[in-house]
Structure 1
Amino acid sequence: MFLQHTEAMLVEIDRMDAEVEMEDLNLDEPIVDIDACDQKNPLAVTEYIDDIYAYYKRTENSSCVPSNYMARQFDINDRMRAILIDWLIEVHYKFELMDETLYLTVNLIDRFLAVQPVERKRLQLVGVTAMLLACKYEEVSVPVVEDLVSISDRAYSRKEVLDMEKLMVNTLQFNLSLPTPYVFMRCFLKAAQYDKKLEPLSFFILELSLVQYEMLRFPQSQLAAAAIFTAKCTLTGCEMWSRTCEMHTSYNKDELMECARLMVALHQNAGKEKLTGVFKKYSTSKYGYAAKMEAAVFLEDAEC
């Protein structure tokens, strides 16, 4: 028994020594200047970029909604929200809109539903109106109202869309300038030194999260960071999170693990669920068949 106890202690000491060595290696890892390549690009505003993202972090709470807001709705539920978002992702793809537009659309829908009761027969109207507003804010060429009426199978009139637009902007007090997960993704991907595989896979995982009501409990920046972390783990087969990523996201690996595990589950079930808008979109060559990659299931068993 004494020998067994001694051997167990030696194994534990070796494990602890290995962890210390890994931590020392991590501390020796240099932090990359992710904006160095943009110094001569005036559109990158490298002089202000740190202040911009510091502002985004300070204000991201105003983009969030209570994670239980659906309890206040009397005629709709989280499943109806999921159907709406999944459909809007297909509409967004069909209209070839900018990525920013999709994330702002979803943000407007959630912020509006968090304070305004809506009948189920008008939920789709909220969705197309939110997309119209997001297009006006983000796009150069905005779809006309008739296009949105048509894509809704003419369930609503032009007047109904415009009336809902007035109600939404007044309810939200015209506040459209809020950080969404997309703005954090652009910075965090640079920190992760992304390539043609990491970027579409990260966005695939993040868009899966847009559909799920339960993911609203995570801050915008944490969703973005966890999507990239999950994508890196998927591609490498191990837990990968550099000091550069940690510094720019302000999240360490342990802080991302809960969200990452949920994302792995979403990835696993993406092609099996009834709502397959995101899966179909990212199963195309345009997005590098990101949806076809095997999920990082080993994260589900990882220790926090």
Structure 2
Amino acid sequence: MVSQTEINERMRAILTDWLIEVHYRLMLMPETLYLTVYIIDQYLSLENVARNELQLVGVSAMLIACKYEETWAPLFKDFLVISDNSFSRQQVLSTEKSILNKLQWNLTVPTMYMFILRYLKAALGDKELEHMTSVIAAAAVYAARCTLGPCPSPLWSDLLEYHTGLAEPQLLYVFFFMT
């Protein structure tokens, strides 16, 4: 992000939050979301993106990830509608092509999600272990927000609670129980 002149980390975070909502609404696989964020981060590290094109990059990255990960990718028009028809079909396709060329079509990467799945499989984990892993991951996010200072307010937002299904008191219990 340091090489970006018009966008910053906060804008990237807002884009990611929006993409999580899109991911949820389109009922996509978790792998798709992780790959989308990876594609965006790699592209932003290689290409200077204008502020008014950041959402376009996000939509194009998710479209690429859907084509790569999903058995049945959502329709192209779904992405246009979700972005309030802010972009034309040609803009999205052009950005998609630009991203793929910049990344040299290298999309096969190990994401954090793949490691978690591998560890759970090695642990012969059941649904209870999978759930506990998610709770611990959420507690780690909470701890990181507390540690990296200055502390954001609130430490645990409604959006975080919505996506994790965990309220702050539940995280505090896990956080203190684990330490």
TM-score > 0.5 by shorter chain: yes
State whether structure 2 residue 33 is matched by structure 1 residue 84: no
Question: Does structure 2 conserve the Cα–Cα contact (< 8 Å) formed by 1:73 and 1:117?
Answer: yes
RMSD, aligned CA: 2.7
What CA distance in whole angstroms lies between the structure 2 residues aligned with 1:134 and 1:147?
Answer: 15
Q: Which residue of 1 aligns with 2:75?
A: 144
Q: Shift in Å at residue 299 of structure 1?
A: 7.8
> Any idea what the Cα deviations from partners look like across 1:50-87, whole Å, max 9, x if unmatched?
xxxxxxxxxxxxxxxxxxxx111000000000000011
* Aligned residues with identical type, % of pairs: 46
Shift of 1:100: 0.7
Please name the residue that 2:87 is paired with.
Answer: 156
* TM score, norm. by length of structure 1: 0.51
Q: TM-score, normalised by structure 2?
A: 0.83
For residues 156 and 14 of structure 2, the distance between their equivalents in structure 1, rounded to whole angstroms, comes to 14
Q: What is the CA distance between 1:197 and its match in structure 2? A: 4.0
Counterpart-to-counterpart distance in 2, 1:203 and 1:132: 26
In 2, Cα distance between equivalents of 1:180 and 1:298: 28
Q: Deviations over 1:204-256 (max 9, x none)?
A: 665x6xxxxxxxxxxxxxxxxxx8xx5xxxxxxxxxxxxxxxxxxxxxxxxxx
- Taking a change above 3 Å as real, the CA distance of residues 98 and 264 of structure 1, as seen in their structure-2 partners, is farther
For 2:52 and 2:63, the matched residues in 1 are separated by 19
Supply the distance in 1 between the matched residues of 2:134 and 2:67 (Cα, whole angstroms): 23
Q: Residue 35 of structure 2 corresponds to which residue in structure 1? A: 104
Q: Measure, in 2, the Cα distance between the counterparts of 1:184 and 1:203.
A: 13
The count of residues paired between Structure 1 and Structure 2 equals: 171
Q: Given the alignment of the two structures, is residue 114 of structure 1 paired with residue 55 of structure 2, yes or no?
A: no
Are residues 1:294 and 2:158 paired? no
CA distance in structure 1 between the aligned counterparts of 2:88 and 2:124, rounded to whole angstroms = 47
CA–CA distance in 1 between the matches of 2:100 and 2:146?
A: 36
- SS for the counterpart of 1:117 is coil
Q: Which residue of 1 aligns with 2:59?
A: 128
- Report the Cα offset of residue 282 of structure 1: 2.9
Q: Which residue of 2 aligns with 1:237?
A: none
Gaps of 5+ in 2: none
Per-residue deviation at 1:264? Answer: 7.2
Q: Does residue 1:75 correspond to 2:12, yes or no?
A: no
| Pair 1:171 & 2:49 matched | no
1:119-162 per-position Cα deviation (integer Å, ceiling 9, x unaligned):
11110011111100000001111112211011001111111000
Per-residue deviation, 1:279: 2.6
